[in-house]
Amino acid sequence: MKNNDKLTNKKVQSWIIFGLAILNIVAFIVLSNKLYFRIDMTEGQKYSISKATKDLLKKLDNNLILEYYYNDKSKEVKEVAQVIQYVEDMLKEYENAGKGLVNVVIKELSYEKPKDQALIAEIEQKGIQQFALSESGSTESKSLLGFSGMLLTYKENQSVIPAIYNDQGFEFRLDVEIKKIVGGGDERLGIYFNAKDRTLEKDFRYLKQVTEREFKNIHRMYAGQSIPQDVTILLIVGGENLTDFDVFQIDQFLMNGGNALFAVNGINVLASEYGIYGIPGDSKVFELLAHYGVRINRDLVGDNQSYNPIRQGLSLARYPLWIKVKSANFNKKNVMVSEIERINLLWSSSVEILDYSKDKAQTLFSTTKGAWNQTENFKLDLETYKYPIQEGKKDYSLAAAFDGAINSFFKDKAVPKNENGEQFTGSKTDAGTTKFVVIGNEQFIQDNFAGNDEFIFLMNAIDWLSKDNSLIEIRNKGKFSKPLDKVKDVNVHNFLKSFIIGFTTYVIPIIFILIGVILFILRNSRNKKIHEFYNKDIKS
């Protein structure tokens, strides 16, 4: 009986332990869902959403719905399929980081089904766009419509990313849209456009597009207009036609904590049927910047070691005035440019940081050591540069960033009159703290010269200037696909593929079996030895 008690006791005990274990497990699950870590082991932290994004998602106080739609045809094109996979993966990361407030909906729509067609039409109404797919690899190129876009909904606000067919910068684009609808992205950009002989609408369309993608509000500034209160960043492209009053306004804007980017040619270049000529720029901005301690020199810089040749007929002509800034010559310590590989600068002037602002300003990028500058006689035809005309002696700084305190250019000076409108009535500020970026070139963001990297630099600079500059680092994130492109010859390529498939699928099993046979033989011979050993014993 005693024993029976012991047994029942044991049973009760084990039930209690079982119950406790279950409780523990549940507590453990709950806890582990609260306290967890993720380590992204992929190259370039492909699937880590940045701190900026996490901070952005922390601001949510309501459900953010991210609807991602794509069609099956897009998934059949390998580049786009990769992007779709990446977007899906990233959305899961967002869902994860959103702590329950981010709802992700992913829908694959059929290209053919009428029901889905109706849905596509509906979504297209909201702004998602179809795009042409070009199927690479197959000889005949079918023209199909791809479809891969997102709808974002937060409270009553909605926004879209019309087409996603590139993984580069996806996180950034999504964050920008989220910022727009969640609020907080309320900074306003003002643009002074005064490039000589060119217009924003005709020659700088990309600039317009790129900035509009990021800023809901862009204010176009004209001479004599006063800068609206809500503009926080000024983009000054070209310095011609700026009046004294405009310069005064810019100065005061900076004194009061506004930030600005100056892209102004030291030398304006004219190409006509008589040849290419340079004319030194004439703008009040030069004086203003020099006063602050960052001077745009009225020169042209040529780089003998890194330039873009010009195509002349069938051959390439030497043209050191089209500088190609090399990866090594970017200031790796500065987030604006640390990740940029190259920037092309056509007819750029050097930017010089004056001694008294050395500790507030830094160079962003510069030429190689083999550069020279030209300060007069700007006859810039190709023939002039066919052979090196100057020896490169040193490197020239081409862009600079300033961050610190400045004194007003108009301290102890009278407020200029405004010839085109209202006069300044308030009291002027004589000192302040500001950030600005200076580059001695306008062309680098001009439609026919600019590429991806140039705009990334521009937008990074604008981000740096904006109050919330957390997104700089992720703008360029992406480009993860790893193509198998070591071998260019198609036949060799295909042979190697078959070899790898054959080896891994059929040869390895054969190796296993061979190992088996070897082990079998070894075991047998070992057995024989053991047998002999013990039976010799017997005889002796």
Binding site for another protein (CB under 8 A): 1, 3-4, 7, 21, 25, 28-29, 32-33, 36-43, 46-48, 78, 81-82, 89, 480-487, 493, 496-497, 499-501, 503-506, 508-509, 512-513, 516, 519, 523, 527-528, 530-531, 534-535, 537-538
**DSSP per-residue string spanning 75-94:** HHSHHHHHHHHHHHHHHHHH
| Nearer CB in complex with another protein: 44/183 | 44
| Nearer CB in complex with another protein: 431/508 | 508
CA-to-CA separations, 445 to 35, 246, 299, 396, 448, in angstroms, rounded: 46, 23, 20, 20, 8
Distance CA 323, CA 305 (A): 9
Instruction: Name the minimum Å distance from CB 80 to another protein.
Output: 11
SS3 string of 270-339? EEECCEEEEEECCCHHHHHHHHHCEEECCCEEEECCCECCEEECCEEECCCCEEEECHHHECCCCCCCCC
Instruction: Name the minimum Å distance from CB 243 to another protein.
Output: 56
Instruction: Count CA atoms closer than 13 A to 514's CA, side-chain side.
Output: 6
Instruction: Name the minimum Å distance from CB 30 to another protein.
Output: 11
What is the torsional sign of CA 55, 59, 60, 64? negative
The answer to whether the CB of 294 falls within 8 A of the CB of 358 is no
Question: How many Å separate Cα 522 from the centre of its chain?
Answer: 61
Instruction: Name the minimum Å distance from CB 184 to another protein.
Output: 28
The owner of tokens 């990740």 is 339
| Nearer CB in complex with another protein: 222/499 | 499
| Nearer CB in complex with another protein: 451/516 | 516
Instruction: Name the minimum Å distance from CB 129 to another protein.
Output: 25
| Nearer CB in complex with another protein: 97/406 | 97
Instruction: Name the minimum Å distance from CB 90 to another protein.
Output: 10
**Helical residues (DSSP H) of 143-243, grouped into ranges:** 170-182, 200-203, 205-214
| Nearer CB in complex with another protein: 79/240 | 79
Instruction: Name the minimum Å distance from CB 137 to another protein.
Output: 9
| Nearer CB in complex with another protein: 45/199 | 45
CA-to-CA separations, 82 to 74, 75, 326, 475, in angstroms, rounded: 10, 8, 30, 19
> Which of 200, 251, 210 shows the shortest CA–CA distance to 227?
251
The answer to whether the CB of 476 falls within 8 A of the CB of 233 is no
Tokens of 99: 């702590």
Ramachandran quadrant class, 519 (left: phi over 0; alpha: psi -120 to 50; beta: rest): alpha
The owner of tokens 């070992």 is 526
Distance CA 190, CA 202 (A): 19
Instruction: Name the minimum Å distance from CB 16 to another protein.
Output: 15
Distance CA 129, CA 221 (A): 32
Distance CA 172, CA 385 (A): 42
Instruction: Name the minimum Å distance from CB 96 to another protein.
Output: 8
| Nearer CB in complex with another protein: 5/112 | 5
Instruction: Name the minimum Å distance from CB 138 to another protein.
Output: 12
| Nearer CB in complex with another protein: 47/111 | 47
| Nearer CB in complex with another protein: 32/229 | 32
Judging by DSSP bridges, how do beta strands 275-280 and 267-272 pair with one another? antiparallel
Instruction: Name the minimum Å distance from CB 169 to another protein.
Output: 19
Distance CA 476, CA 337 (A): 11
Distance CA 92, CA 111 (A): 25
| Nearer CB in complex with another protein: 4/315 | 4
